[in-house]
Amino acid sequence: MKGFIINLNRVKEEDLIVTIITDGSLETLYRFYGARHGVINLGFMIDFEIEPSAKSTIGRLKDVIHIGYKWINDYEKLRLWQNFTALFYKHLKEAEDIGSFYFQLLEEASQKWGKQNPKRVAIEAYVKLLEHEGRLHTEMHCFLCSRKIESDISLLRAFLPTHESCSHTYPINKTALHELYANKSSLFLSDKEIERLWNVLMEGL
C-alpha cells in the first residue's frame, strides 16, 4: 500500500503515531522505534504494510519503504512540501471515507513540485480541492458586504472573495483569477499575487 505521511505524533520517546493518506483511505498507525527502521518524515511518500493489533484499535505500520522524489534534497522545496501536506491532516482528520481524490491530488503535485514553482503547484492543486469539495466561489460577491465585486478581488481563507476595500488585503487581478479557476493555471498571476495566495493557503484548507 502506498500513501503520503501528513502527520507524525511522537509517543513513548521514539515511537510514532503516523497518519497517512492512501488511495482510498486515511490510515492512523503505530510505528515502533527500532534501529532497523528507515527514516520517515512529514510529506514522505511510502510503501507500507498494516499489521492488525490484538491490543489496540490502531494497527502497526510495518515494512516501510520510502519512495523518494528527485527534489528531496532541495531543502526549500522539501520545506514548502511539508508545509503544504501538513494542511491535509487538520482538514481530513475527522473524515471516515475520503475516496481517492486527495491521494491523487498529492501524487500529481509531487510530480510537478521539482519542475515548476512549488507555490504555484500548491495553489493550482488547492483550487482543484475547493472545486471537488464544492467550495470554489466563482460568483464574485464580497463575503463581507455581499455586494458584487467589479474590479480586482481580494481573497481570504478558503479563497473567499472580498473587495479590497472591505478586507484591506492585497488584491488579485480578476482576469488572472478567472484563468486560475477555469483552467487551474496560475500562468497569469504575478509572483506577488502568488505569494499572497500562498499565505492565504497556509491559513488552512
Q: Tell me: the pLDDT tens digits for 152-185?
A: 899 999 999 999 999 999 999 999 999 999 999 9
Q: Could you say which residues of the chain have pLDDT below 70?
A: 34-38
pLDDT of residue 35: 46
b/e for 120-140, b at 16 or more Cβ within 10 A?
A: bbbbbbbbbbbeeeeebeeeb
Same domain for 46 and 95, yes or no, is: no
pLDDT of residue 143: 96
Same domain for 86 and 47, yes or no, is: no
Q: Are 200 and 159 in contact (CB under 8 A)?
A: yes
State the CATH number of the domain containing residue 146.
Answer: 1.20.1440
Strand partners for 179? none
What φ, ψ does residue 22 adopt, rounded to 5°?
A: -110, 180
CA–CA dist 79, 42 (Å, integer)? 10
Residue type at position 2: K
Question: Is the pTM above the cut of 0.75?
Answer: yes
Q: For the chain, how far is it from start to end, CA to CA, in angstroms?
A: 26
CA–CA dist 85, 89 (Å, integer)? 8
Number of H helices, E strands in the chain: 6, 7
Domain C-terminal end among 22, 49, 67? 67
pLDDT of residue 94: 86
Same domain for 96 and 156, yes or no, is: yes
Tally of structural domains, the chain: 2
**Full domain range(s) for residue 31:** 2-67
pLDDT of residue 10: 86
Same domain for 83 and 182, yes or no, is: yes
